Amino acid sequence: MNGTSSLFKAYDKHFKIGAAVSCVTAGIFKDILGQHFNSITPENELKYSSTEPEEGQFTFDEADKIFDVARSLGIKVRAHAPVWHTQTPDWMYVDGKKPAAPELIYERIEAHTKVLCERYNNDVYAWDVVNEAACDDPNDLSDTYRDSEYFKLCGEKFIEKAFKAMDKYSPNNQLFYNDYSECIPAKRERIVRLIRTLQERGCRIDGFGMQQHHFAAPDYDEIKRSIETYASLGLRLHITELDVSLMATLNEGERRLKPGDPGFAEYIKEALRPTPERLAMIEDIYLKLFEIYRSYSDVIDCVTTWGVADDFTWLDDFGVDKDMPKVKQHPLLFDTEHKAKGCVDTLIERA
């Protein structure tokens, strides 16, 4: 690769190129970020457990490290997912020894939102306001919403309250709903219902974040159909958490294989010895995905990979039993030595 080649510069006419980083990897990958990316997403550092572990006690040391790197590179931040059913401390859901009333939860969400926005608004261009609130049960096609603690205590109104609070304190930045398995038809229908409900209730929702974690061979037609469906709601689209795991080359189904699933033992056996052919398949999937993203650049404004290079990826530990061998997934555009994979040159050439 030419040392002056740049993904984000090549794709400037199409969309932003983003990467998710932690407070540790933001510094480690600073040079790669500066050369190839023009959007940064904090992986976990803006979630409640990181920023307000106890009610009213805010901690920003970890998030500030990411924002400091972003500022030094002149990159704006895609702020990720304060309201999420995971990584939210228990204090959100209780009032003394009893469950918190919905109005108390709404007050807490608004107070938290106000503090986050006052600190970071000038460095942010978009917020994932609410993350993964749509039901994910393949056997229950009637429910729209995930049965989270938020939902048990408030019903779906917590989503509306989160968006209205963010609109109040971040009026100049884009507001997104973010979710996964977004191209599976049943889940897509739920997400569409969720978004339409927000729109009907007068919430400003500017866009939808298509996570695009690929644990199985992508269905490219469903990806296209999903982009068109979400765009038809009047939304801007971001690809928010893109990675292509080794599983995508070994799993022909729709969903991630888990311990105990038919075929999982065979998957592990194959994944422990990744062949050059399998690794090349990951790169080929990236080329096909970006071809689709480019063809819809009239509605897609940003494509973000969930990580920068293969040596630091959440997939190393995700869904793996403690007694199982660790499987390296090789899911990103840069390898464990921080070198661009061959597909990066091709992506730049095809831009």
Catalytic residues: 132, 241
Q: How far apart are the first and last CA of the chain?
A: 15
Residues 6+ apart with CB under 8 A from 134: 144, 145, 146, 179, 187, 190, 191, 194
Q: In this structure, which amino acid lies at residue 113? A: T
CA–CA gap between residue 66 and residue 75 (Å, rounded): 11
If you search the block for the tokens 């294989």, which residue do you land on? 257
Residues 6+ apart with CB under 8 A from 166: 113, 117, 127, 129, 175
Contact assessment for residue 266 and residue 194, using Cβ atoms and an 8 Å cutoff: no
Q: Which two tokens stand for residue 100?
A: 């918190």
The upper half-sphere exposure of residue 80, i.e. CA atoms within 13 Å in the direction of its Cβ, equals 31
The total of other beta-carbon atoms located within 10 Å of residue 156's CB is 17
**Residue 93: enclosing H or E segment and its boundaries?**
none
CA–CA gap between residue 222 and residue 225 (Å, rounded): 5
CA 102 and chain centroid, separation = 27
Residues 6+ apart with CB under 8 A from 344: 1, 5, 7, 36, 333, 334
Give the residue from 183, 186, 189 showing the smallest Cα distance to 218.
183
CA–CA gap between residue 83 and residue 175 (Å, rounded): 13
Tell me how far CA of residue 315 lies from CA of 79, 81, 159, in angstroms.
21, 19, 28
